[in-house]
Amino acid sequence: MINRKYLTSVFIAACLSVSGCISPPQVQEEPTPFNSTASMKKHLQLTTAQIAKIKTINQKYNAKSASLASQDLRFLERKRMTKQLEKTRNMELQQVLSPQQLEIFQQEIKKLRRDKAKKIMWHI
């Protein structure tokens, strides 16, 4: 007759080995396409002066974002810092864009966030 403790330990080992093989789907971080200068130029009909200013803003915050991504931070701390970076970047963009351009920009960002949330939620 097989020992009950032996069966329990075999069952636990099997469960652990199976759970180690099955991992939740990983959602890859994709750069937001609307945050690039080229796509902003296309969608917002920027002037040449605006293009130059936005290009410097984007380069500055892309460098900061890359630096942040390479740091060894906890998930929530990285999210908090990323949100703060995004907030300061958007404040700088508000000074450059016209009210109509700013409205279009905010609508596009909301749309992209909604699409990203759907991808994460439904693992598309």
pLDDT digits (tens, 9 = 90+) for 71-104: 888 888 888 988 899 899 989 999 999 999 989 8
Q: Confirm if 25 and 123 have CB atoms less than 8 A apart.
A: yes
- Across the range 21-41, mean pLDDT stands at 60
pLDDT band at 52 (very low <50, low <70, confident <90, very high): very high
Of 36-45, 93-102, 115-124, the poorest mean pLDDT is in: 115-124
Is pLDDT of 58 > 70?
yes
C-alpha 26/C-alpha 28 separation (Å) is 6
CB atoms within 10 A of CB 66: 9
- Across the range 55-82, mean pLDDT stands at 87
- Across the range 58-70, mean pLDDT stands at 86
pLDDT band at 10 (very low <50, low <70, confident <90, very high): low
SS3 81: helix
| This prediction's pTM | 0.62
- Between 31 and 117, whose confidence is greater? 117
Give the torsion sign (CA, 98, 42, 120, 85): negative
Of 8-17, 18-27, 56-65, the poorest mean pLDDT is in: 18-27
Tokens 């740091």 identify what position? 71
